[in-house]
Amino acid sequence: MKFISWNIDSVNAAVEHKSARGEMTWQVLQDIAAEQPDVLAIQETKLKPTGLTKKQAAALDELFPGYHRYLRISTGRSGYSGTMMLSKTEPIAVEMPEIGAPGDMDIEGRIITLEFPNVYVSTVYTPNSGSELARLDERQAWDDAYRAYVSGLDAKKPVIFSGDFNVAHQEIDLKNPKTNHKSAGFTDEERTKFSALLDAGFTDVFRHLNPDLAGVYTWWAQISKTSKINNSGWRIDYYLTSTRLNDQLANFSVIDTGARQDHAPIKLEMTDDFEL
């Protein structure tokens, strides 16, 4: 069974593909469709409150025929944040939770959870701490609320959750740790909260399968023209699973996006005996 997760940075940019970067984004989405994942999670859809346009819906229907599709749109700011999940199997329940996060975080469309008979599959777009760490205090409150939320799910049945967590956990998870120690996504506070999430009973799938592997990243800054060329990246996109699923973790990979900078999709494969 195969799961894919991707911060797409605008569904519209992918579907319209009117720029060189849009063309690359569209190609990545086509590559994902060719993989035929059992569940696809997408973050940062940037959809308007009206949801998908007819053109966007038609494009997704063509790429992912027969999939069940679920949208969580930001009601706090138009065209901001947002998540989407597509599943071959219809879930028994769909949750768009509010977790008691500060400010507008609960209305920014950041979490979708699908419940299946044996497991929850969830996605998250974690708030960024922002320039000059203006949102760091709120981000820490989010991390505490989110950890409580997924722990509550885990108390009922195992959880597979993925997304852009906006944190590189250890120095091995980014190219330049020393110069980024006080940057959003690599502060001591954010890394400590991520450690607390793992300590609550969850596994970082990539690091579990590749304990010492360096140089594998999921995000390269667009602001730097050479970040992808030099592989000056960060690993900030994750699949996390309840630790009791460890024996069913078969493989994790980062899907190649060529010259496209920003986020790359990540893929989790489970063993043959795994069932939703």
User: Nearest-CA neighbor of 236 among 182, 160, 174, 178?
Assistant: 174
d(C-alpha 38, C-alpha 276), whole Å: 10
Q: Pick out the residues of the known binding site.
A: 7, 44, 164, 166, 262-263
In the chain, what's the furthest Cα-to-Cα distance?
Answer: 47
d(C-alpha 54, C-alpha 247), whole Å: 42
Indicate if the alpha-carbon torsion angle 90, 108, 144, 102 is positive or negative. negative
Catalytic residue among 67, 125, 146, 239: 125
Contact (Cβ atoms closer than 8 angstroms) between residue 143 and residue 149? no
d(C-alpha 146, C-alpha 14), whole Å: 29
d(C-alpha 110, C-alpha 45), whole Å: 10
d(C-alpha 226, C-alpha 207), whole Å: 26
Give one word for 219, left, alpha or beta, with left for phi > 0 and alpha for psi -120 to 50.
beta
Give the neighbor-by-neighbor strand order of the sheet with 219-220.
Answer: 233-234, 219-220, 262-263
Instruction: Give 128's DSSP letter.
Output: P
Q: Pick out the residues of the known binding site for Mg(2+).
A: 7, 44, 164, 166, 262-263
Catalytic annotation present for 263: yes
Catalytic residue among 164, 173, 204, 237: 164
Catalytic annotation present for 67: no
Catalytic annotation present for 169: no
* Residues in Cβ contact with 202 at an 8 Å cutoff, skipping those fewer than 6 apart: 150, 154, 159, 240, 241, 242, 243
Positions marked active-site: 125, 164, 263
